[in-house]
């Protein structure tokens, strides 16, 4: 089983999580509700850290919970255990193995605040260090690059949010995701074509905003590790505070532009980048017939609420990076220099 198969397994993996993981997610939600939680800290690395960024927006937008990204080096390099008062601490890691992520949960556990592990690996050090374990049920992920563990991490966070709010409508929207992700896989021929036309791509910026900032970061990581593209991800807001100076005619700009609060500003910005600088724009969107986004568009199904769209919008990005890697002669199943499990301390 290789990367392409694992991309295709995502609907089934999400379906499994929604059934087999629901009770554990409900228990974690109950624990957060029972404790005097005023904010959340998330410890994670790499792709899992992008799921943490998604959690910042979901728990922030839907629960008014400030969510911080942990600084594990404080614990491991400087020997400082932050004061976690009134916090819940979540560790996200498909392998559950990285010592620095585990160290943050260990510190939180010693301070007796609720700890939750979101992991694909039962019995892993991360799972062992947490009060509550949300298993992803994604099945073994063999490809070095994470795909199905990323989307299941997002869905675990989304369902946690729905159950935390006791929000039936939100829970039904989450349950609709496997079918939507299935439909999004149909974009593959477009993704392949757009990647093939860009066989020389070796640098780009990747833009998203709000819920889709996580997608921009994850798309950029897939571009780097699979296709060896220097891909620099930005929030569309931050991008205008300096990096905009990079642009010139033909500069590749990848952007995630779904419906929702971020859409108008993004469409306007991208229209300007095309008109003023003549950038080479590739977008992922659920909007139909938006001429300012240009022709190089990977269409995802509409109708999904914006807070859940990142589960869907990453699919064309994964396929684009996969096909670009193949076109460039890279082996998408075995990127050079890196391993499936990276242990950082
Ligand atoms: C994913 O594509 C990467 N190869 C890598 O960044 C990975 O996500 C990171 O090492 C974290 O792994 P974990 O989820 O097992 O902790």
pLDDT tens, the chain, 345 aa long: 899 999 999 999 999 999 999 999 999 999 999 998 999 999 999 999 999 999 999 999 999 999 999 999 999 999 999 999 999 999 999 999 999 999 999 999 999 999 999 999 999 999 999 999 999 999 999 999 999 999 999 999 999 999 999 999 999 999 999 999 999 999 999 999 999 999 999 999 999 999 999 999 999 999 999 999 999 999 999 999 999 999 999 999 999 999 999 999 999 999 999 999 999 999 999 998 888 898 999 999 999 999 999 999 999 999 999 999 999 999 999 898 999 999 999
Q: Cα(96) to centroid of ligand 1, in Å?
A: 10
Q: d(Cα 239, Cα 250) in Å, to the nearest integer?
A: 17
Instruction: Give pTM, 2 decimals.
Output: 0.98
Residue nearest (by alpha carbon) to ligand 1 atom 13: 93
| Predicted local distance difference test score (pLDDT) of residue 342 | 92
| Dist. CA 32–CA 87, nearest whole Å | 9
Q: How confident is the model at residue 289, as a pLDDT?
A: 86
Ligand 1 atom 16: residue of nearest CA: 93
Query: Which of 194, 191, 207, 309 is closest to 258 using CA atoms?
Result: 309
Condensed to tens digits (0 to 9), the pLDDT of residues 13-36 reads 999 999 999 999 999 999 999 998
Token pair, residue 190, equals: 């477009």
CB atoms within 10 A of CB 179: 13
**What atom of ligand 1 comes closest to residue 98's alpha carbon?**
16
Does residue 94's CB lie within 6 angstroms of at least one atom of ligand 1? yes
* Closest atom of ligand 1 relative to the 121 alpha carbon: 15
Laid out side by side, the sheet with 115-119 consists of 67-69, 39-43, 87-93, 115-119, 132-135
Distance 268 CA to ligand 1 centre (A): 34
Closest Cα to atom 4, ligand 1: which residue? 145
Residue of the nearest CA to atom 2 in ligand 1?
Answer: 145
Predicted pLDDT of residue 183: 98
328 counts as catalytic = no
Task: Measure 118 CA to ligand 1 centroid, in angstroms.
Answer: 13
Angstrom distances, CA of residue 182 to CA of 111, 174, 315: 43, 14, 9
Nearest one of 208, 290, 213 to 254, comparing CA atoms: 208
Q: What is the pLDDT of residue 257?
A: 97
Q: Is the CB of 344 under 6 A from ligand 1?
A: no
**Which residues have C-beta within 8 Å of that of residue 316, sequence separation ≥ 6?**
184, 187, 190, 191, 284, 298, 300
For 288-299, the pLDDT digits (tens) are 888 889 899 999
pLDDT of amino acid 110: 96
Contacts of 5 (CB under 8 A, 6+ apart): none
Question: How much is the pLDDT for 1?
Answer: 82
Q: Please tell me the distance between residue 245's alpha carbon and the centre of ligand 1 in angstroms.
A: 31
């Amino acid at each position: 089983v290789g990367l392409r198969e694992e991309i295709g397994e995502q609907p089934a993996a999400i379906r499994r999580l929604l059934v087999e993981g629901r009770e554990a997610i409900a228990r974690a939600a109950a624990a957060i509700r029972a404790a005097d939680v005023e904010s959340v800290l998330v410890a994670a690395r790499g792709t899992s850290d992008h799921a943490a960024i998604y959690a910042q927006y979901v728990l922030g937008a839907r629960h008014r919970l400030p969510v911080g990204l942990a600084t594990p080096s404080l614990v491991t390099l400087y020997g400082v255990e932050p004061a976690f008062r009134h916090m819940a601490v979540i560790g996200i890691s498909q392998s559950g193995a990285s010592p620095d992520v585990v160290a943050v949960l260990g510190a939180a556990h010693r301070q007796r605040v609720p700890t939750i592990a979101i992991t694909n690996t039962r019995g892993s050090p991360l799972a062992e260090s947490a009060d509550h374990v949300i298993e992803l049920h994604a099945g073994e992920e063999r490809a070095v690059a994470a795909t199905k563990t990323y989307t299941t991490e997002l869905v675990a966070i989304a369902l946690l949010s729905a159950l935390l709010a006791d929000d039936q409508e939100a829970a039904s929207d989450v349950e609709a995701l496997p079918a939507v992700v299935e439909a999004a896989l149909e974009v593959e021929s477009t993704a392949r074509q757009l990647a093939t036309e860009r066989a020389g791509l070796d640098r780009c910026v990747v833009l998203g905003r709000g819920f889709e900032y996580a997608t921009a970061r994850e798309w950029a990581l897939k571009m780097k590790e699979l296709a060896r593209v220097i891909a620099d991800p930005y929030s569309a807001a931050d991008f205008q505070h300096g990096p905009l100076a990079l642009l010139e005619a033909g500069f590749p700009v990848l952007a995630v532009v779904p419906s929702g609060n971020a859409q108008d500003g993004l469409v306007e910005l991208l229209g300007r980048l095309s008109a003023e600088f003549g950038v080479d724009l590739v977008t992922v969107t659920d909007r139909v017939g938006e001429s300012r986004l240009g022709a190089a568009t990977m269409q995802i199904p509409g109708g999904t609420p914006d807070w859940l769209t990142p589960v869907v919008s990453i699919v064309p990005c994964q396929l684009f990076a996969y096909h670009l890697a193949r076109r460039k002669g890279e082996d998408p199943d075995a990127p050079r220099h890196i391993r499936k499990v990276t242990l950082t301390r």
